[in-house]
Amino acid sequence: MNAIPSELQRLLSGLRFQPRRRFRGSYRGERAVTQRGTSTEFRDHREYGEGDDLRHLDWNALARLDSALTKTYRDDQDLLVAIWLDGSASMRMGTPEKFGLAQLLAMALGWTALTGGERVSGGRLGQPHRSYRGRSLRSAFLQALTSEGSARSQLDLIDQMRHAQIALPHSGVIVLVTDGMHPDFPRTLATLPKSGNEVWLLQVLSREELEPDLEGDLRLVDCEGHGSHDVTANSATLTEYRRRLDAHLLACEQAAVRGGGRYARILADEDPVTVIKSNLLRGGWLA
């Protein structure tokens, strides 16, 4: 899958990322930031202070009002959007597979960011990430999201996230599309905002995870090779599973939200258009 449905493209056309805070980019871009910059778009006056650049002194105002005012301007800078798509084995679970919707959402968000002039980094976790900018690189980015396998793919989610974080050129919005099925995921997630990043977590889950249809005496095998153990899937066991799952999901949400980020829980069988409308648009993620 290396194309975004046209219906989705129409929906996303003209939409821009709406981070909760402003980031300073490396290149002059199309995004207005709250920091007073040096672009030609006048923003406001303020009293002249010692050390201000005399080039920005409003001489007309000084002549008319006899008051030294300095002009401030809107500064157009690009936004770094890091899109991390979890391609671990657990994402291949469920009916339909969680990875299908997760991949489509990552592609859509990358497409939107590049279309909006943002600088996009990332790809599938576990693979080398590179930066993309400009509409011409949208296909390349989509290609990166759909390519399979590399040396790092054997690492687990936590290690992959650490590697991806190191590879970030500077802080920005980290869009993480994953199921978060790792016991250390909430803790690792909570470290990302400390580097100045804003985390947007799209947690994709399957219905089988929420309501497992298991019964009897089983040997459960972790899909990512984290061992196995015997379980008698009775009501007590299922109750305990649901309790642990709820606690884990809550921890994931709190880790994302407490760092000033956004969180959405999505089921793998949901329609992507509905997901974008009900979660991303209505939630103010995109506008």
For other proteins, the binding residue among 100, 117, 212, 283 (CB under 8 A) is 212
Per the DSSP assignment, residues forming a β-bridge with 229 are: 220
Q: Between residues 87 and 110, which has the closer beta carbon with respect to other proteins? A: 87
Give least dist CB 187 to other proteins, A. Answer: 13
Site for other proteins in 215-244 (CB under 8 A): 215-223, 226-232, 234-237, 240-241, 244
Give least dist CB 250 to other proteins, A. Answer: 13
Q: Between residues 61 and 89, which has the closer beta carbon with respect to other proteins? A: 89
Site for other proteins in 187-206 (CB under 8 A): 206
Give least dist CB 9 to other proteins, A. Answer: 31
Q: What Rg, from alpha-carbon coordinates, does the chain have?
A: 23
284 is written with which tokens? 């103010």
Q: Does 32 bind other proteins (CB under 8 A)?
A: no
Contact (Cβ atoms closer than 8 angstroms) between residue 221 and residue 215: no
Site for other proteins in 38-97 (CB under 8 A): 89-90, 93-94
The DSSP element (H or E) to which 7 belongs, if any, is helix 6-12
99 is written with which tokens? 């990875």
Examine residue 128 and say whether the peptide bond preceding it is cis (omega within 30 degrees of 0): no
Specify whether the backbone of 190 is left (phi greater than 0), alpha (psi in -120 to 50) or beta.
Answer: alpha
Task: Give CA 5 to chain center in angstroms.
Answer: 21
Residue 21 DSSP SS3:
coil
Kindly give, in sequence order, each residue whose CB lies less than 8 Å from that of residue 125, ignoring residues fewer than 6 positions away. Answer: 84, 85, 86, 87, 88, 157, 160, 161, 163, 164, 178
Site for other proteins in 90-129 (CB under 8 A): 90, 93-94
Q: Between residues 49 and 227, which has the closer beta carbon with respect to other proteins? A: 227
Q: Between residues 55 and 219, which has the closer beta carbon with respect to other proteins? A: 219
Q: How many residues form the binding site for other proteins (CB under 8 A)?
A: 37
Q: Which stretch binds other proteins (CB under 8 A): 20-28, 121-129, 180-188, 267-275?
A: 180-188
Q: Between residues 155 and 245, which has the closer beta carbon with respect to other proteins? A: 245
Start-to-end CA span in the chain (Å): 26
138 is written with which tokens? 């949208």
Give least dist CB 175 to other proteins, A. Answer: 21
Residues at the site binding other proteins, with contacts judged by CB under 8 A: 89-90, 93-94, 179, 181-183, 206, 209, 212, 214-223, 226-232, 234-237, 240-241, 244-245, 248
